[in-house]
Structure 1
Amino acid sequence: MKRSLCILLCLLLQLMSVHAESYVVLSGADNTIVEEKNKDEKQSVASISKIMTAVIAIEHGQLDESFAVDDEINKAYGSSVYLKQGQQVTMRDLLYGLMLRSGNDAAVEIAKHVAGSQVAFVELMNRKAAEIGMSNTTFSNPSGLDEEDGGNISTANDMAVLMSYAMKNKEFRTITGSKYYTTDWNMRWKNKNRLLFDYPFTVGGKTGFTKKAGRTLVSAAEHDGVESIVVTLREGDDFAFHEQKHTEVFQKMDVVTIMRKGDYTVNGRKFHVPETLKVTLHKDGSDKLRVKTHYDHKDFVVEVQKNDDVNVYSFASKKVRGGGLFS
């Protein structure tokens, strides 16, 4: 009996140690990879690709414009928010249906309204992917379905880069972090991302599943100024895995601010920093950080070296009267 219990416990421990086929844990501050496994392995990523669909729609603007659902909606299948042809909706409604309920019909309608067709919308998705550095990604549709065209092919790392980019957008951040949403036609939706209800530091994410892709999950969490992004592909117990990895990031990592967003005047020249510059460091002090600043012609240059990695930021400046040494 004791031997049987021992064997059973060993099997359970082995099962618990088996995790995603590929995953990445990223610091949202500077996209530092904290941990990874097969981060560049390509596969269909299912509905987590709807993050890109949302990004394109939000950057297109006019979220509160009202319009009628197109007949293209009749081509949608799979998960749905039950849109009907001719129904009056706003882009905001569609975005919540897309991100909270993973509505494929919402994805189809977003694509048609923004770009005129799904084909044209996919071109925008792939253009944005290239722009933000998703070098191993090819989008084929706005929903993530993969039965007909092979689906949207990406990697854990590329999806983490996408989530990091998306979370810098206030509209996206509000939508993905919402537990519930009530539409203009009084439909109440609950977010499928269980982490929003079970893990208090969760600030967003997107679930996904197809038979081909398996379970896919992207999540973002924030605690004490540290934002953690986790992506898993083919992880059965994905919610528990994400909780564990977020907690490990908060225990091990810290974020240091190099320069805050705003206007600066240095040596009589004024420049603007559009986003706060941050760097992620281990709390145990094992990282070496060095920051240098100088002018290169008219550009104010900030060189941030962490261990062997160097990032260079340049800001165009102009001469001002009465500028101090640093203000």
Structure 2
Amino acid sequence: MVVEDAREDDRFAGLPIVVGGVRFYAGAPLQDAGGNLVGTLCLFDDQPGSLDAEQLQTLEDLAAWAQQELAATGEMTRAVEVQASMLPSAPLTSGEWAIDGVCLPALAVGGDLFDYGIVGDVVHFGLGDVMGKGTGAALLGAGVRSAIRSTHAAVVAGVDLGVTTTQVARGLAADLARAESFVALFEAAVDLDDGYLRYVDAGMGLCLVVRADGRIERLSADNLPIGVLPDDHWTEQQTTLELGDRLLLFSDGLLDLVDDPVSWWEPIGRLVSEHDDPSTLLDAIALLTVATVPTDDVTAVAVYRRAVS
């Protein structure tokens, strides 16, 4: 719609905006993906005017671009909601055990993922980091999450985590090869009665335990990420979480936020020691992303076996 002089047009002459000084108007409608009118891209002037054919085409082109951006924003908003809905919805507590996690994408969505749950007297938890950031990594991450969840029943039943991780890797091999990507993964199961912890570290290398006496231990292995070698295998490792021990598992985005990313276990170990609850620890990690703009996704899972008073 083009109105060359609103004061001379009976449809608009009495409108407050026209009385207040607007004379010229040109607008192109904006629609959502469902064809609903959601707004207009407008031009105003306090003098009468007109648009030639080229200017009208430019206005329509700009409106088409704005409409695409609105649709993309709506789709991205929905993607953020969907990805958040796939994460655990609340912290987990059972007796002296407390578990919580956080995922803070560098962009709207990201390739990091975490999960945890309890079946009987076993808690399973894990964290994955798909190479890259943004929508592409998020799409791969959704597939990785589904593949890992399909093995949880076997994991809590006691099946070797090296076997289940190899099963996951075989299922993801074709997709990762086509996407030219890989996944670093840490997957674990802990017996709530005695603290016996079984885990697989597939190229993650970013898990530490702060023992009750203050010692810091790193949990890692020599295994490669999933998708690097097509016929690779992974090996289960074991340790024990005693009363008062605290475990933190995280993605490499956190390394960008600490003072010493080389000897990272020292500042991050101190951070763990300073917080007596997983939720307050994760809040402190989230504050680090506010103080320093992250260039990568930051995801963490905290598992505490609290000492009984």
Give the TM-score normalised by structure 2.
Answer: 0.27
Give the TM-score normalised by structure 1.
Answer: 0.26
Query: Which of structures 1 and 2 has the bigger CA Rg?
Result: 2
